[in-house]
């Protein structure tokens, strides 16, 4: 996404084009009319990353056009980023340009921000970072009131902390999330709030349990925990599962347990074909969960065949997808046994072809019980 892609005057027509590209395929599977959740047209990305381009004494943040991959595009302004990132860009560029220690072999910069305006910056180098770098980075952190992390191959230097706390509002209630540097988070915070609200609306209060696959830092887990008796949430990333556990405490949630399992391992654990030492710490044995609903938020490749078979055994399936094509492919099998109760499109990435989707499926003959 380059600055010249910014076309707020064409936002509605671009969104309409995206929806029109995919909607007929969902309708062919019996989906009802979709709910459409728009994005702010400016300042919607809480994350951004740029290459650092050195030319003589000059230093700039740049991106590359896929059509011209060897020609850097200098970033003077970046209207997609949060206002705090936009405000910081020129100030930070000048600070780095004028500091020989901080700019030496710096090749990439990553920004993480929150709705409240907090910022964490990761500076990535082609050299080992020593005490002189740490002193210069501390001065930068103090001067610009931001968190700074330094990285190079096999090295990570944290001056204060390597995370921020985001606060999101869902159904009138606030939830707090520890977001570690370089962990996956939904980049568009306002659309994320819409996604969480939609998911909660699809889950009426239940006396049974939820299984969540690919839970990340607990983005969906935390608000959905209020809808179920217990939640068993799984994630393979150590960084994400640590943050997810801390987010339970941050939100006073006590009916969720996290298991560090890949999706295919969950299938083995639930079927009893393999035992995992990682599950020994669960206060409730996995066999004792009364699982009725499953939530999946898989990577772009969608669900593999084993996970798809596991998911198809549930009465209710909440499927969040970042790739409509792989979602449609998975729905080809799921629609054999389940009806699509609701469909939602979330414009997570305005001005691009990317479209996030939400699907609520119910096994045929099962009491719907949703709004």
Tell me the helices (H) and strands (E) count for the chain, helix number first: 10, 17
Q: Where are the beta strands (DSSP E) in the chain?
A: 35-37, 47-55, 58-65, 68-74, 106-113, 119-125, 147-152, 155-158, 163-170, 173-180, 209-213, 231-234, 256-259, 291-296, 316-321, 338-346, 356-363
In Å, how far are 46, 115, 198, 224 from 192, measured between CA atoms? Answer: 11, 12, 10, 14
Q: How far apart are the first and last CA of the chain?
A: 37
Please identify which residue in the block is written with the tokens 């049974």: 208
Residue 123: both structure tokens together: 């500076």
Contacts of 311 (CB under 8 A, 6+ apart): 213, 294, 296, 303, 317, 319, 334
CB-CB contact of 236 with 262 (8 Å): yes
Query: CA-CA-CA-CA torsion for 84, 250, 184, 358, nearest 10 degrees?
Result: -100
Question: Dihedrals φ, ψ of 93, to 5°?
Answer: -60, -45
CB-CB contact of 129 with 102 (8 Å): no
Helix intervals (H) in 169-289: 189-201, 221-224, 238-250, 263-271
Residue 94: both structure tokens together: 């000048």
Active-site positions? 322, 356
Helix, coil or strand: residue 346: strand
In Å, how far are 19, 69, 88 from 143, measured between CA atoms? Answer: 45, 35, 12
Alpha carbons within 13 angstroms on the beta-carbon side of residue 238 total: 1
Residue 189: both structure tokens together: 């915070």
- The DSSP string of 241-266 is HHHHHHHHHHTT--SEEEE---HHHH
């Amino acid at each position: 996404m380059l600055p010249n892609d910014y076309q707020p005057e064409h936002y509605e027509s671009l969104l309409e084009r995206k929806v029109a590209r995919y909607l007929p395929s969902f309708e062919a599977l019996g989906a009802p009319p979709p709910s459409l959740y728009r994005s702010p047209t400016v300042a919607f990305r809480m994350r951004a990353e740029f290459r650092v381009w050195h030319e003589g004494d000059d230093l700039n943040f740049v991106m590359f056009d896929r059509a011209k991959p060897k020609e850097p595009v200098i970033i003077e302004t970046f209207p997609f980023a949060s206002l705090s990132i936009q405000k910081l860009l020129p100030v930070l560029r000048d600070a780095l340009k004028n500091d020989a220690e901080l700019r030496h072999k710096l090749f990439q910069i990553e920004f993480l921000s929150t709705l409240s305006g907090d910022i964490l910056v990761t500076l990535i180098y082609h050299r080992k970072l020593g005490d002189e770098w740490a002193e210069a980075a501390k001065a930068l952190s103090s001067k610009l009131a931001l968190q700074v992390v330094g990285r190079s191959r096999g090295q990570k230097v944290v001056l204060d902390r390597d995370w921020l706390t985001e606060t999101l509002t869902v159904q009138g209630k606030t939830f707090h999330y520890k977001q570690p540097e370089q962990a996956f988070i939904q980049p568009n915070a306002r659309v994320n709030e819409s996604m969480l609200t939609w998911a909660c609306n699809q889950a009426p209060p239940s006396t049974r349990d939820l299984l969540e696959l690919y839970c990340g830092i607990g983005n969906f887990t935390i608000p959905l925990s209020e809808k179920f008796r217990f939640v068993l949430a799984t994630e393979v990333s150590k960084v994400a599962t640590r943050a997810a556990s801390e987010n339970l405490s941050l939100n006073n949630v006590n009916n969720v347990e996290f298991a560090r399992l890949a999706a295919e391992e969950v299938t083995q654990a639930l079927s009893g074909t393999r035992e995992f030492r990682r599950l020994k710490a669960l206060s409730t044995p996995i066999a004792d969960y009364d699982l009725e609903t499953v939530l999946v938020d898989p990577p772009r490749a969608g669900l593999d065949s084993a996970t798809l078979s596991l998911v198809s055994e549930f009465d209710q399936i909440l499927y969040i997808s970042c790739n409509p094509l792989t979602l449609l492919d998975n729905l080809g099998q799921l629609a054999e046994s389940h009806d699509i109760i609701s469909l939602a499109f979330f414009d997570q990435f305005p001005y691009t072809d990317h479209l996030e989707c939400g699907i609520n499926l119910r096994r045929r003959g099962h009491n719907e019980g949703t709004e």
